[in-house]
Structure 1
């Protein structure tokens, strides 16, 4: 019997200890050698709060790779999490064809470098959006690869814990059909060893894909095992077939974690709406099996591979339709617009149009106190050293009524705790808790441009979000237009939106934000289009959760969500009073 990495068991030389020793030996292989002696670094392919991914070319073979550069941190639990990621990925890629290959590892005084297989086909999400004719046959190929990967990973005694479409990549070219052999699975940053009969007790991953047992019960008790990966695969297939998540619906990104936990915990969803009319009953059946709320009744990945849908789907080549593609595109980019609105309102000093307006002036004072070196940028170390002041700021963001328990969703870059049970652990309770690992998650979620530092606007927006407070849509729209509509024509172009973004973000990213709100596809956003994009989900907050109306032909008017377990987005069993009010407000800043 061996232990889960984050369960806190202290057993001599269990499989986790062995894996950490393997990773240390992996690092020693290239000791004294510089990664840049072997690879020429090219463009940045992606970045997060403490790392970047580069396109790199081997100097001698000329083969191309993706090099993940991760900043070294002094915290022991972060060091162990990276070692475990290396160990799990090394074992996975040796045994599982669908795992992104870890070629070799380097380190220097500042960074660790993971040289990875380059998946030139990009994300599955992007391919579906670009090709525009995704069908059930394609979805079956992706799910076959995903379940095969999960089954093999579980066979190694490993839970992935961050299964989602954004971690699925392709090796095939843009004009080639998707096959199971072309799909690769990445990001082992939250993966951990777990034997049969052992359980995790710390929530991690991206909330939209978390199983009820990962979210935890109303009392905050979290207890789950490898079966949670199967649930996440079910959510992933649901998204691939209709373009939104089953729990929270099309506008889940506007809900607080308090709301989402309640909806997921209830486990209720439906297949209503025009988008589902073209999906086979067999596909719906396999989704329902994967989204079985009781993990003891949920089939394993290996069992699901024999489902008849995989045979039937071979002949199901009818495109799922433009609506699904539009939904998927919105889901892929939805959080950006909300983040942008929060940052602009924070920059302009508040003006939040609801009863829980934060004292932005006070938050700016706290920022100045935290900024130890006066460079107007907060590093994680500066926040960590003054964690009590951050707790006060989070509580003061709503004049004492903050719901600190409504944390920002975590992405693949945040790590689970190390051995010994570090971390906040639960998925349920509120209260003014903020330990180092929760602060890490908050920091990563708030770092809009991924440069590893927070400016004053990112900090203020993060404190507002931690309190469950966001600017009302008219205030946000007015603030954005006042800030950058330089020619006063009543429209925002990508060039104008880029003025709002941190300097490190590109015109392409500004264009993506414009496209999200640009309903008439004229390449610019009117005041009305922006306000509608920001207000759309409010119009549906009273509808039943997980349910979409029979007519979803009127965009923005027909999507709905059914309250799970008594109330759409209310505080429910997670709290009452101020928490109930807070749960009705949108999260302005989420992990992208």
Structure 2
């Protein structure tokens, strides 16, 4: 029976006290009914962030559902430029969403601090934002609140990765059907959203407003009140005034005009925008031959065999690999993803292998087919970002003793010291329907003494078999 697994399987709703797992740090942000704090995982020492939503501040059921909606949507998304979610807690007073920690702060803060950005830097940020919108819209998800405050920088480094955050107003949509609920922020909201009849192109309008602000430091639709701003949005009229826009290229203004086209039917799509001349010269990651050879060598040698081993490696890469380890793979992943849709296809992988390994394979198609069969563990037909990280990370680092013990502990739900078939079913069967025999067979893969459960020694032996890893 075919077995698939994705990172969504590992975004658990946890019980117990957050403080038992994390050391709580300083507050780094605050909203109308939530706050964000820096936290550190007590076992892995990895820095993360927690968004705490105060239940008493939620005014109705609709606002409460937005929290579960954000968790549900984020857990399904697997893109290097989308904030990564780890887990979800709740107690009597609050909801807690645990995500990666982005130390570079909001893009909005950078604009305030540095003023308008150079065209080169603005193009780099816009390319990353538009790549996210291609990924979302391909999956029929609309964000509905694209603004600089919801774009953060992964680190304070000059070439930091951009991350899109805050999916509370995001929604899955049906192509061809209009949405009607009004969401958004006055400066960035699309006119058709105000008319409460819109589709995913509303994100493109917001992206156009963001690009305008990145290049000029001011919004295209300004005003002294929300009412005044929204009235200007409704008309859709704006300009490129002097002196702010005198030195900005024609190509940049042309792309803005195409994104701020009033009629959404004529407005440019995210995929079309990525092919615009202004972005063709924007910095794209080129393949680092030495790093790529190492990572793709790991990919080529990736073997799992047992289903539980495959699931464990995916869990470690998703939940226990450090932010640094994951982001080391971003440049290579994006350089292979030539159509910028957030996944690596069979043809893109073949092209990358041809560039790096030239004629080292007797039958490259056979090799690519084998790799795809091993690495594409959610059976989507393409390699997602977490699958890529799982296969490309150094195996010896990935399956360290500490991480194996942490993974075992995560699967041993009752803390009994053994993993049972029922526990595997509870963890991995939420989105995959298999009969009880399937889970018993998975236990049997590592159950050396035949007692129907897996202890830590059996688990470690299974994970290290054929890995040439020694402790």
Q: Distance in 2 between matches of 1:97 and 1:79?
A: 28
2:72 is aligned with 1:91: no
CA shift for structure 1 position 313: 4.9
2:238 is aligned with 1:269: yes
Corresponding position of 1:583: none
2:59 is aligned with 1:69: no
Q: Among 162, 165, 187, which residue is 2:166 paired with?
A: 187
Corresponding position of 2:252: 283
2:31 is aligned with 1:48: yes
Cα distance, 1:136–1:76 mapped onto 2, change above 3 Å: same
Corresponding position of 2:121: 138
Corresponding position of 1:208: 187
CA shift for structure 1 position 27: 8.2
Q: Tell me if structure 2 keeps the 8 A contact 1:27–1:106.
A: no
Q: Among 30, 44, 61, which residue is 2:14 paired with?
A: 30
Unaligned stretches of 5+ residues in structure 1 = 1-21, 217-221, 316-592
CA shift for structure 1 position 311: 2.8
Q: Distance in 2 between matches of 1:120 and 1:152?
A: 24
Cα distance, 1:279–1:114 mapped onto 2, change above 3 Å: same
Unaligned stretches of 5+ residues in structure 2 = 1-6, 285-471
**Equivalent residue of 2:52, what SS?**
strand
CA shift for structure 1 position 126: 2.0
Cα distance, 1:133–1:232 mapped onto 2, change above 3 Å: closer
Cα distance, 1:123–1:27 mapped onto 2, change above 3 Å: closer
Deviation track 1:409-453 (CA, whole Å, cap 9, x = no partner) reads xxxxxxxxxxxxxxxxxxxxxxxxxxxxxxxxxxxxxxxxxxxxx
Deviation track 1:374-427 (CA, whole Å, cap 9, x = no partner) reads xxxxxxxxxxxxxxxxxxxxxxxxxxxxxxxxxxxxxxxxxxxxxxxxxxxxxx
Corresponding position of 2:267: 298
Corresponding position of 1:80: 65
Corresponding position of 1:243: 217
> Could you tell me the TM-score, scaled by structure 1's length?
0.45
Q: Among 195, 198, 222, which residue is 2:177 paired with?
A: 198
Q: Distance in 1 between matches of 2:11 and 2:158?
A: 38
Q: Distance in 2 between matches of 1:178 and 1:139?
A: 12
Q: Tell me if structure 2 keeps the 8 A contact 1:141–1:178.
A: no
Q: Distance in 2 between matches of 1:244 and 1:43?
A: 31
Q: Among 104, 108, 113, which residue is 2:87 paired with?
A: 104
Q: Tell me if structure 1 keeps the 8 A contact 2:179–2:199.
A: yes
CA shift for structure 1 position 104: 0.8
- What RMSD, in angstroms, separates the aligned Cα atoms of the two structures? 2.2
Q: Distance in 2 between matches of 1:75 and 1:314?
A: 45
CA shift for structure 1 position 26: 7.8
Q: Distance in 2 between matches of 1:156 and 1:229?
A: 14
Deviation track 1:78-103 (CA, whole Å, cap 9, x = no partner) reads 222211111111112x2x21110001
Cα distance, 1:78–1:313 mapped onto 2, change above 3 Å: closer
**Equivalent residue of 1:309, what SS?**
helix
Looking at both structures, which has the greater relative contact order when contacts are Cα pairs under 8 Å and sequence separation is at least 6? 1
2:116 is aligned with 1:126: no
2:231 is aligned with 1:231: no
> Could you tell me the TM-score, scaled by structure 2's length?
0.56
Cα distance, 1:277–1:195 mapped onto 2, change above 3 Å: same
